[in-house]
Chains A and B, each alone.
Chain A
Amino acid sequence: MENKRRLFLKGACATAVGAVASTKFVAAQPETETIEADVNYALIHDETKCIGCEVCVDACRETNNVPEGVSRLEIVKTGPFGEYPEQYFRFSRKSCQHCDATPCVNVCPTGAAYKDPKTGIVSVDSWKCVGCMYCIAACPYQIRFINPVTKAADKCDFCKETRLKEGKQPACVTACPTKALVFGNLKDPDSEIVKVLKATPNYRSKTELGTRPKLFRIAAKEGEIVL
């Protein structure tokens, strides 16, 4: 009995050490992802220019073949604010923020949700996706959805597979009649996006969660002040 108990303890200790060592190994893994790329795409939504026409939404649907009932992009309207003749609304963009630190990628069990190291674009490999919906729950911006046709998770990919491949700007950016959207490379100091970001005060959504979103917003001048 004595001997058996000692063996039991020994076995337990050995496996405990093994378990601790393997979690260390797991924890050490993500370090490898720090290859410095010279492209890191981002987007600005200038709420002072946005008129809520939703032309961007339609352009996205058409270009990326997004089925009815789901959308990669929404314009969320709040308001009206102010008294009758002076009434105004506020429009804010709801789409993937292409987070630099990506909760959706971290949780995906198969690696179907991934961040392209060359462009910083977050996308989904619909073949690898099993549809566990873990990424959908993990995205604090709640912009992921299951594509009813492919049954895989889907979302904005900055038109990586469509317009960007042809060397063009994303569909929503080109379609916007008021030029409220600016797309470009944050690593290029001469790009329009960097110039606008340096010249104009901007904000991002839910930065306190540490996701480092790359959808920059220029606040509508007359917005609601929320406490």
Chain B
Amino acid sequence: MNPFHFDSLIWHWPIAIYLFLAGISAGAICFAVLLKHFKLGKDAYKSSFVQAACLLAPLAVFAGLGILVLDLTKPFDFWKILVFYNPTSIMSVGVAVLMIYQVALFAWLACLFKEPISNWCDHRWPVVDRVLNVLTRHEPTVTGLLVILALSLGAYTGFLLSALTTYPMLNNPVLPILFLVSGISSGAAGTLLGGLLLKGNPDGKEVHFIHHIEIPLILFELVLIFTFFIGLIISGGQSQVAAFTALGQGFWGWIFWAGIILVGLTLPLAFNLFMTASSKRKLSYVAITASCSLLGVLLLRNFILYTGQMTVA
């Protein structure tokens, strides 16, 4: 059996990338919100890390949607997904969430960048000021809505796969939470990496704040992965077969143990703990840690998608 081609395989790697990008977008915007509310306040938009998150969130979601549309066998008919809805379809519900999410995202970004936008417009278009004022008046609602939509988006990618009764490994209630948590950690990593690229201070309070959240996040992710596979193994039957096929030897077994567990989770955890202990952070440390987490999450999406489709109920 070739790891990338087998009979029961329906969804290929573009779907894994889409799942990855949706997770990053949701995670990045959660960190932008957290940084603004708990650390930076009104001046949040000046932080390179917040700017990175605010670039990443819409770009990742657009790229993800683009990949999704190109992956259809009839890409030019994609508008039919937006016009026809089926309430029992997780994909339909997800598309609706994605659409409202983008509206909330841009509304929140407008609130965040109110000052620079107003300055740039220089009161040339009074409409802009009026819209911005209305939005900032409702900022708490916009923020609450955005956070809930982001969390739904992160979990939805897991629900999308867990709705498939065909594949016992995917048809698993832990999957949405696992995808949500790993999505948030990829958002953290993306924010850090992007922030550094935008010349952010690797020892700034944003980095300290994100790293503090990342440690429990990684531990939680490990617990979830453990729960995921133990659950499969003790259910027996085809679920057990699926778990052993995935974790056993061969290409995907390597990806799991070396790529996801070692590079994606253990190394970032160790680096994080080390950096917390030795208070001063260097650029290279932060960048390597973030790259490891990002790679780990990307591999996790591919691993789950491919190995999940290997065993049929």
Q: Which residues of A contact B (CB under 8 A)?
A: 4, 7-16, 19, 25-26, 29-30, 103, 105-112, 128-134, 136-140, 142, 146, 151-152, 206, 209-211
Contacts and interface: CB of A to CB of B under 8 A. Distances in A.
Interface string B81-100: 10011111111110100000
B141 A11 contact: yes
B11 interface: yes
A125 B14 CA distance: 25
A131 B164 contact: no
Contacts of B93: 26
Interface stretch (B71-79, B182-190, B194-202): B71-79
A109 B95 contact: yes
Interface stretch (B55-63, B144-152, B287-295): B144-152
Contacts of B81: 109-110, 130, 132
Contact of A140 (B91, B141, B166): B166
11 contacts: A7-B141, A10-B144, A11-B142, A26-B87, A106-B89, A109-B81, A110-B85, A111-B85, A133-B10, A142-B8, A151-B74
B213 interface: no
B262 to A, nearest CB: 30
4 closest A-B pairs by CB: A131-B73, A12-B144, A11-B141, A11-B144
B309 interface: yes
A137 B170 CA distance: 11
A107 B90 contact: yes
B80 A140 contact: no
Contact of A107 (B71, B138, B163): B163
A140 B312 CA distance: 7
A108 B77 CA distance: 14
Nearest to A25: B87
B165 A134 contact: no
Contact residues of A: prevailing secondary structure = helix
B140 interface: yes
Which of B8, B11, B95, B166 has the most chain A CB atoms closer than 10 A to its own CB?
A: B166
Interface string B5-47: 0001011000000000000000000000000010000000000
A133 B74 contact: no
Contacts of B84: 109-112, 128
B80 A10 contact: no
Contact of B148 (A15, A105, A210): A15
A15 B88 contact: no
Contact of B11 (A7, A19, A133, A140): A133
A109 B90 CA distance: 8
B91 A132 contact: yes
Contact of B143 (A11, A26, A136): A11
A132 B10 CA distance: 10
B148 A107 contact: no
A132 to B, nearest CB: 6
B306 to A, nearest CB: 13
Which of B8, B147, B164 has the most chain A CB atoms closer than 10 A to its own CB?
A: B164
Nearest to B9: A137
B148 A103 contact: no
Nearest to A138: B164
B283 to A, nearest CB: 33
B103 interface: no
A26 B159 CA distance: 15
Nearest to B104: A15
Which of A109, A134, A136 has the most chain B CB atoms closer than 10 A to its own CB?
A: A109
Contact of A19 (B85, B140, B143, B152): B152
Contacts of A133: 10-11, 73
Given A131-B72, A152-B73, 18 more contacts: A11-B140, A11-B145, A12-B144, A14-B141, A14-B144, A15-B148, A16-B148, A29-B88, A107-B88, A107-B164, A109-B85, A112-B80, A130-B73, A130-B77, A132-B71, A132-B72, A138-B163, A140-B313
A109 B93 CA distance: 8
Contacts of B77: 129-131
A127 to B, nearest CB: 9
A146 B73 contact: yes
Nearest to B12: A133
A137 B309 contact: yes
Interface in B150-200: 152, 163-167
A68 B133 CA distance: 62
A171 B98 CA distance: 44
A109 B92 contact: yes
B90 to A, nearest CB: 7
B165 A15 contact: no
B100 to A, nearest CB: 10
